[in-house]
Structure formats: C-alpha cells, structure tokens
Amino acid sequence: MDTASRPPTQPRKPTFPLPRVVVTLSIATLVIFLVATPAGFLSKLDMVGYAVCHRITDRSFVLAGRQLPLCARCSGTFIGVLVGLFGQAVVLRRERAAEFPPPLVLVSLVGFMSLWAADGLNSYMTLINGPHLYEPSNWLRLTTGALQGLTMSAFVYPVFNFTLWRDPTPERTIRDLRELGILVLLEASLVVLVMALVISGWTFPLYPLAGLGALGVLTLLTCINSMLILMIVRRENLADSWRESIVPLLAGLAVSLIQIGAIDAVRYALTGTLVGIPPLQ
C-alpha cells in the first residue's frame, strides 16, 4: 500500500492535562500540609483523623498511652476500606473489574451498612443518656466499622476502575456470596488482629495502626476525588497503566489534603480542641 494513501496517524489523547503543573501543585500542597500541621508524625496523622472522626477518647483505642487518630468505629471503617480494596484487587484478582456485585451480594452489603448505622445510633444514644438497646463497646464499633469499610470499598472500587482505565474489565468485582464470604473473613481477621494488638499492651503497634487508619482515609478520599477530577476535565478511560494514573491520583490526593485542612480549620475554630466534641464529652 502506498504510504501517501494511508490515513494520518491520530496523536494519542493525553491522559491528563498539564501534568507538570499538577505534580508541582500536588507536591506544594503536601508540603504545606506537613508544615502547617502540628509537629510529629502521629500529630499529623491525628489531623487526618480529625477531619472525619469525632475522636472521643473513651470510644477510641489507646496504645502506649496514646489515642489512635481515629475512634474504634472509624478505625474499623477506614482500615476496612483498605482490606476490602486489597481483597477485591489481589485476593479475588479483579484488578480492573468495573461491574457491581450481583443483587444478593448488594443486599448483604446494605445489611452490613444497616448494622453499622444501628450500632452507631445505639452508641450515640448512650452518649446523650438516651434510651438504648445495649451497652456499646469498642470491639462492636470496630467490627461494624470493618463491615462498613468493606461495603464502601465494594461500591467505590468498580466505579473507580470504570472511570480510570482505558480498558476496564467487564466483570463483577464480587461474583457471589462465596467471594463475599472470603472478604468478610479478611475483615474478621483484621478485627481479631487489632483487638489482639490492643489487648497485648505492646507499644510497637501504635504507629502501624495509626498509619493504616490515616492511609485508609487518604486512599478513599483520593479515589473519589480522582474520579471527580477526571470527569470534570473529561479525561475518563485514558489510563493504560498505573504509571499513567499517577497524575490524576496526585491531583485527587492534593484535593483530599485541601479538604482535610479546611475541615480541620473550621472544626478547631468551632471547638477549640483536637480531641472529641465538647458538647458531647
């Protein structure tokens, strides 16, 4: 075939506009967050937790004399998100799966969410000295939180894959109740491990547990914000590899840090404390 008759090659559409600007702004946002927040690694993790959690001391786990950045329920929720994402991507091998689970699994997930909400309501009623069905405990908060984290990951993961990848896989992230059971076992293992570490009284789990909780918050917010940014700039379904997803993920992380910083500033201005909520203490 004569090369002159060939149609011109269309340049590939860039995966994300102004990548250098995005990377620079993302790094600047991270540096500002690290400088503006209180000194110390754990204090910076506290600021991440402060944006999404009430941080009431008696409803949080304390290791080595220090409260974790997230309460027991939020620790279960956000570490549970990490476990749920890992379970779907690695254990079930659905790296780019972009379809929601079948109806029976969805009903089960809604049931997990209902347990989380019911235990949260019962716990809140004890906080205000209202009528309640049972005495809440941190292990129940951790357990219902982990199930809620699994639920959140199951809804976010397929949407994230559908939005990010050029070739998302047309398969369900969780195919049936058996696979859901595998993920529940992973979450149950998380609960048992956390409770064992808390009861042990050891010092070393403080940093890993604090770090995992904050990482769960940042991971969930980054996934959601990255999807929103991609839709706003109309660059969905363009990434072929994780390398090509770095820029939109950095943009999502930067927006997440800005959100966290803004919420922290407003909350501190209203309460004047980094631990708990004064009217409910």
Count structural domains, the chain: 1
Instruction: Identify whether 8 is part of a domain.
Output: no
Closest to 157 measured CA to CA, from 83, 104, 60: 83
CA distance readout (Å), 47 to 36, 58, 66, 237, 265: 10, 19, 15, 33, 10
What residues make up the domain containing 76? 66-273
Predicted pLDDT at 128: 85
Predicted pLDDT at 22: 87
Instruction: Identify whether 144 is part of a domain.
Output: yes
Torsion sign, CA atoms 88, 186, 196, 133? positive
Predicted pLDDT at 11: 55
Q: Tokens 């929103």 sit at which residue?
A: 228
CA distance readout (Å), 231 to 73, 242, 248, 250: 32, 18, 11, 15
Predicted pLDDT at 18: 75
Instruction: Identify whether 267 is part of a domain.
Output: yes
Instruction: Identify whether 110 is part of a domain.
Output: yes
Instruction: Identify whether 116 is part of a domain.
Output: yes
Predicted pLDDT at 2: 47
Instruction: Identify whether 132 is part of a domain.
Output: yes
Predicted pLDDT at 127: 86
Instruction: Identify whether 202 is part of a domain.
Output: yes
Low-confidence residues of the chain: pLDDT under 70: 1-15, 279-281
Predicted pLDDT at 184: 98
Predicted pLDDT at 277: 79
Instruction: Identify whether 281 is part of a domain.
Output: no
Predicted pLDDT at 206: 95
